């Protein structure tokens, strides 16, 4: 068994049987616990007729495999697995460590969640399990060992998943939880003096005389940001340890099967630091894909990919939803958008609409009376078309030249618990909105980008790294940015970045902290104004931004100044540092400012934009062919220079490619 500190995701090149080039998968999530044997047979027939070649099963079903402690039953799932294999359908088998069964809660009350006020909470809803409890850790390991040993050589299994939506769990406030948090603090800080320093306990008479004085910080309620940040780091470490433990079991029992897990690192209740840790337990980036719009959906999907070589999987994919039956053509459009980003697997949530439980008004592919809906036909069409497209360079293996920085610490510390924390008054709009705003103009330019944590991923593959509103600047991230620029890279940083250190305390050095010399200025003052404007590259730029930082250049050159502000302070600066360039935008990361600045940057570093498209249409070139996706409800025309033929329909386009609403086409 691998030591947890040494756990590392296996490289796909060492596993030629893993899903790879020329393989696309379309299918559905399936929970046979709701179905009779006769219904299972009918369901598999529906899937087979639709051309599905993958299902995801096992999630949320611990007590179906282990109805009593230590008593395992696999007979029913064996039959289903065998039938899936006979139908040519591969299986992503989830290790269902969440939710824990009732028998585990009854046998080991430490698995129960304790609320902030000390009240024990029954496991009334999914994920109300204390995953830090030692009894939980032991029992989930036993179950995972039994499941992976039993199915280690089943020919249907294509991948293993871990603990569906593990980031969506609850924090617990028992005395045992407090002691485990204290143990974590002792390991991190060593002495109470170092903890006092990191938590700034001299403020407001909060000094700790011993570790026994430590209380669990309140996730919902008042408190200083330093403690709030460590609370989330603690639960992140707990989550990551569970994932590494499961991956160690997989690597021991099923080393030729990859992990493709439906994780949820950005879940509001707890979340975890995925982009600093994912290579220790992830083979393929995967997520539940429920996009509100193409840009936010694509941004979220690429966050699950990080810098992995492998394609993206959508282990839950938009079909219907809670109180939403579905929109004809919408799932197909998003399937093609996913394909454009580098997706390999599209797995509809869910197959059968549930008759009971919390999701009984969530509408799947098959209606509540067992009738296949039009959605089965739509996903069948996707499956048929993807089978054809697998011959033409799909899935796409992307090699982006642009990276966008994302930091779990900055996400947490930029919106600490309130109400008295003044960071809430200072840092706005939200961190996620600002990172997405940095991503948006590159996506609209039809360019591939990576979303990474700059302190934990190699920056050398990129020509340009954008660091939007990176509030917490830890030493490893600062070193990575410094070295990247020094060695010839180009970095753009935006306002609100590098204001606090890894403890969440403001730097007492020139800002941006740890990087003032790299960017060639210092800044302290900031002001609100009317909507800001500046001129860049001979073009006048009007923004929707109303707050700016005042930059005091030392070695930096001013590229643009605010035109409607007294004294016309710098809007954009550039500093030569080593062989590279460090630019700073003195406003929040906002599409109205980032769009023009990103265009300027692409020209500066020599990155060509992607195929030109009208608003709402996105495109990528794949082995000399162009994939177009119309994400709008309007017909769109894309001008072309010569006659082009559709590989999906055989239609020949002259002068323009005409795309119906929500349509996609691959043109040669």
Other C-beta atoms closer than 10 Å to the C-beta of 651 total 13
Percentage of the residues of the chain whose pLDDT score is greater than 90: 96
Mean pLDDT over residues 289-313, rounded?
A: 98
Phi, psi for residue 315 in degrees, rounded to 5: -70, -20
For residue 581, pLDDT beyond 90:
yes
> Residue 4: its pLDDT value, please?
38
From the list 465, 410, 449, the residue with the least C-alpha distance to 432 is 410
> Residue 486: its pLDDT value, please?
98
528 has which bridge partners? 547
pLDDT tens-digit readout, 222-281:
999 999 999 999 999 999 999 999 999 999 999 999 999 999 999 999 999 999 999 999
- Write down the residue that tokens 């007492």 correspond to: 508
pTM surpassing 0.75? yes
**Rounded distance between C-alpha atoms, residue 363 and residue 373, angstroms:** 10
> Residue 11: its pLDDT value, please?
76
- Which DSSP symbol is given to 607? P
Q: Are 427 and 471 in contact (CB under 8 A)?
A: yes
pLDDT tens-digit readout, 479-538:
999 999 999 999 999 999 999 999 999 999 999 999 999 999 999 999 999 999 999 999
For residue 548, pLDDT beyond 70:
yes
Strands (E), 163-311: 286-289
C-alpha count within 13 angstroms, C-beta hemisphere, residue 628: 31
pLDDT tens-digit readout, 182-214:
999 999 999 999 999 999 999 999 999 999 999
> Residue 432: its pLDDT value, please?
98
Mean pLDDT over residues 574-595, rounded?
A: 98
From the list 609, 605, 570, the residue with the least C-alpha distance to 586 is 570
For residue 8, pLDDT beyond 70:
no
**Rounded distance between C-alpha atoms, residue 588 and residue 438, angstroms:** 10
> Residue 13: its pLDDT value, please?
79
Q: Average pLDDT, whole number, for the chain?
A: 96
CB within 8 Å of 641: residues ≥ 6 apart: none
34 vs 316, which has greater pLDDT?
A: 316
Q: Name the packing angle between helices 37-50 and 75-86 (round to 10°).
A: 30
pLDDT tens-digit readout, 350-392:
999 999 999 999 999 999 999 999 999 999 999 999 999 999 9
What six digits make up the tokens of 242? Answer: 């569970």
pLDDT tens-digit readout, 236-252:
999 999 999 999 999 99
From the list 104, 172, 96, the residue with the least C-alpha distance to 135 is 104
CA 486 to mean position of chain CA atoms: 30
pLDDT tens-digit readout, 143-188:
999 999 999 999 999 999 999 999 999 999 999 999 999 999 999 9
From the list 514, 481, 343, the residue with the least C-alpha distance to 405 is 481
**Rounded distance between C-alpha atoms, residue 363 and residue 331, angstroms:** 14
**Rounded distance between C-alpha atoms, residue 293 and residue 347, angstroms:** 19
For residue 6, pLDDT beyond 60:
no
Q: Tell me the pLDDT band of 7, cut-offs 50, 70 and 90.
A: very low
For residue 10, pLDDT beyond 80:
no
What DSSP assignment string belongs to 490-533? EEEEETT-S-B-TTSPBPSSSSSTTTHHHHTEEEEEEEE-SSPE
From the list 624, 629, 661, the residue with the least C-alpha distance to 644 is 624
For residue 67, pLDDT beyond 80:
yes
């Amino acid at each position: 068994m691998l030591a947890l500190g040494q756990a590392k995701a296996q490289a796909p090149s060492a596993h030629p049987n893993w899903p790879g080039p020329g393989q696309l998968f379309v299918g559905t999530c399936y929970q046979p616990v709701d179905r009779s044997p006769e219904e299972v047979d009918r369901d598999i027939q529906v899937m087979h007729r639709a051309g599905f070649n993958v299902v995801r099963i096992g999630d949320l079903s611990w007590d179906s495999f282990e109805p009593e402690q230590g008593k395992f039953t696999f007979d029913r799932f064996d039959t289903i697995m065998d039938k899936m294999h006979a139908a040519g359908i591969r299986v992503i088998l989830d290790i269902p460590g969440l939710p824990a069964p009732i028998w585990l809660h009854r046998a080991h009350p430490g698995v129960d969640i304790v609320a902030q006020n000390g009240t024990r909470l029954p496991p009334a809803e999914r994920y109300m399990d204390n995953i830090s409890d030692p009894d939980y850790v032991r029992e989930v390991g036993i179950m995972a060992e039994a499941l992976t040993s039993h199915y280690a050589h089943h020919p249907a299994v294509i991948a293993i998943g871990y603990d569906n939506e593990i980031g969506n769990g609850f924090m617990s406030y028992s005395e045992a939880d407090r002691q485990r948090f204290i143990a974590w603090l002792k390991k991190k800080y060593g002495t109470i003096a170092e903890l006092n320093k990191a938590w700034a306990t001299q403020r407001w008479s909060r000094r700790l005389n011993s570790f026994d004085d430590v209380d669990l910080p309140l996730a919902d309620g008042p408190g200083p940001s330093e403690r709030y940040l460590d609370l989330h780091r603690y639960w992140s470490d707990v989550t990551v340890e569970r994932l590494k433990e499961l991956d160690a079991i997989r690597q021991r029992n099923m080393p030729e099967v990859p992990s493709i897990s439906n994780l949820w690192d950005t879940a509001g209740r707890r979340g975890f630091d995925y982009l600093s840790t994912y290579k220790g337990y992830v083979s393929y980036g995967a997520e539940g894909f429920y996009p509100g719009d193409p840009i936010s959906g694509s941004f979220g999907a690429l966050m699950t990919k990080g810098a992995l070589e492998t394609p993206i999987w959508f282990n839950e994919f938009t079909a219907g939803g809670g109180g939403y039956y579905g929109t004809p053509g919408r799932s197909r459009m998003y399937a093609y958008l996913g394909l454009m980003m580098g997706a390999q697997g599209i797995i509809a949530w869910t197959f059968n609409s549930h008759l009971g439980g919390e999701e009984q008004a969530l509408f799947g592919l098959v209606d509540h009376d067992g009738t296949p809906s039009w959605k089965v036909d739509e996903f069948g069409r996707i499956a048929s078309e993807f089978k054809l497209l697998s011959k033409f360079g799909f899935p796409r293996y992307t090699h982006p030249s642009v990276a966008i920085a994302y930091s779990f610490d900055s996400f947490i510390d930029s919106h600490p618990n309130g109400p008295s924390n003044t960071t809430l008054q200072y840092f706005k709009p939200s961190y996620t909105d600002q990172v997405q705003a940095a991503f948006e103009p590159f996506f609209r330019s039809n360019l591939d980008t990576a979303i990474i944590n700059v302190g934990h991923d190699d920056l050398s593959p990129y020509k340009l790294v954008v660091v939007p509103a990176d509030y917490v600047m830890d030493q490893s991230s600062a070193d990575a940015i410094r070295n990247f620029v020094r060695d010839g890279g180009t970095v753009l940083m935006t306002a609100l970045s590098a204001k606090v250190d890894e403890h969440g305390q403001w730097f007492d050095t020139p800002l941006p902290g740890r990087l003032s010399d790299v960017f060639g200025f210092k800044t302290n003052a900031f002001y609100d104004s009317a909507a800001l404007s500046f001129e860049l590259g001979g073009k006048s730029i009007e923004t929707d931004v109303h707050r700016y930082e005042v930059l005091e250049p030392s070695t930096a050159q001013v590229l643009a100044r605010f035109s409607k502000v007294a004294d016309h302070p710098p809007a954009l600066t550039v500093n030569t540092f080593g062989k590279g360039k460090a630019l700073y935008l003195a406003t929040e990361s906002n599409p109205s400012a980032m769009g023009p600045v990103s265009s300027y940057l692409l020209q500066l570093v020599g990155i060509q934009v992607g195929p030109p498209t009208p608003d709402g249409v996105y495109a990528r070139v794949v082995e000399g062919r162009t994939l177009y996706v119309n994400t709008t409800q309007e017909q769109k025309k894309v001008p072309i220079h010569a006659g082009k033929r559709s590989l999906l329909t055989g239609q020949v386009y002259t002068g323009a490619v005409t795309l119906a609403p929500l349509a996609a086409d691959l043109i040669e």
